[in-house]
Amino acid sequence: MILSGIVANLAWLCLAVSLLALCLTAVNALWMRRSAGSKALETGPLVSVLVPARDEEEGIAACLDSLLSQRYQPMEVIVYDDDSSDRTPAILDRYAQTWPGKFTVIHGKGLEPGWYGKPKAMQVLFEAARGQWLYYTDADTLHQPDSIGFSLGLAMNYDSDLVSGYVQQRIGSLGEALVVPAIYLLSMFAMPLGLAHHSRSPAVSHAIGQSMLFKRSLLASLGGYSLLKDKVSEDVHMARLIKRQGGRTLFADLKAHVSCRMYKDYLSAIVGLSKNVYDYFGKNQAVLIAATVGITIALLLPIPASLWLPAGFEATRLIFRLSCLLMFSAWLLLTFDRRLPWYLPFFYPILLINVLSTAWRAARLFSTGRAVEWKGRMVR
């Protein structure tokens, strides 16, 4: 009797979580559609386009071509070469010769103690920029001609200090599909993204480094990235920091304007997730334990429970099955809204297991003084 009561309560809990995830996904999808309707500007204040790059020879030229073809003016493009070991420096030097006055390359000279690579690159770019607005983007992104004007239009319309959002994730393999959509797990399913602009709470804030537009005066008041020099997920931490300082953030739909292929295969996606996911939880094992228990019970338990509960639990089994249906529907809606591979909803349990196992692997490495290797550097 006690056991059946516990199982029934778990079933209702799973149903509530699945329903909440579906409702938040639907609300966020509506907000994404609304934000996508803003108009792009073609002229205004100077925008500094800032790109940190390390070993990006495969995609940096395409990224720069798309940035230098922007309709918005005036703008400048500055790239920080973070001690690349491939052909990236030579490619950047060629662009600097081709676009004098509009394109600048800064070659890094190693890391100072206490700094991670990307925050250091962001800081150097901040100090070199001349614009009233600073647009940071990754070297593996591709931009439509209106991408910068669109983000600036959003910033003006919503009076925001930071504009970020979901770009189009280009996924080329099943392995990538089992990892990359993890970026939506703790945002699209768990946070009312449309309220980020209105709420003053740092908990209701999000950003993705693939596209971030800052008001320079706000970033200057924070000292640039100096407060985040040892953060791996510096984008999310920056959004929270801005909220703590009284700034306003906006998270919008950018998929029609910017796209990115983050990784090339399953292994590189797992390594990339390893360096970020534990940092996202604040490198706090208590938080990770709570997240693991919550995800396992609320999102994974309904699947085996709906299939293998013994006789006598028929009503409870139906509740678990309804929970599975609601969660599948949430992933289906996410897949449609974000233009992800059609088969993703059928594999979401594997994605969740990947996230948890990768987070615990990173926690084990960091807690024992070891590190995750990323582009020739050790991330601790």
Residue extents of the structural domains in the chain: 14-28+270-379, 32-268
pLDDT at 114: 86
Name the residue with tokens 């500094």: 48
Sign of the dihedral through C-alpha 279, 281, 285, 289: negative
Return the exposure string of 159-197: e unless at least 16 CB atoms fall within 10 Å of the residue's CB, then b: ebbbbbbbbbbebeeebbbbbbbbbbbbbbbbbebbebb
pLDDT in tens, 231-277: 888 999 999 999 999 999 999 999 999 999 999 999 989 888 887 88
Distance CA 332, CA 208 (A): 22
- The residue whose two tokens read 């319309």 is 157
Amino acid at site 370: R
pTM of the model: 0.93
Which H or E run includes 221?
A: helix 216-221
The predicted pLDDT at position 380 comes to 59
Residues in the chain, pLDDT under 50: none
What number does CATH give the domain 32-268? 3.90.550.10
Alpha helices (H) in 262-301, listed in sequence order: 266-280, 285-295
**Residue 247 pLDDT:** 94
Alpha helices in 339-370 (DSSP H): 348-367
Per-residue model confidence as pLDDT tens digits over 63-118: 999 999 999 999 999 999 999 999 999 999 999 999 998 999 999 988 888 898 89
Query: What is the Cα Rg of the chain in Å?
Result: 22
**DSSP structural state of residue 113:** T
Which pLDDT value is given to residue 160?
Answer: 96
Task: Return the amino acid letter for 219.
Answer: L
- Predicted local confidence at residue 373, as pLDDT: 67
The pLDDT of residue 374 is: 63
Sequence-distant (≥ 6) Cβ neighbours of residue 369 within 8 angstroms = 380
- Percent of the chain with pLDDT strictly greater than 90: 71
Residue 377's pLDDT is what? 67
Among 201, 193, 184, 208, CA closest to 250: 193
Gap between the Cα atoms of 352 and 362, Å rounded? 15
Q: Which two tokens stand for residue 342?
A: 């059609």
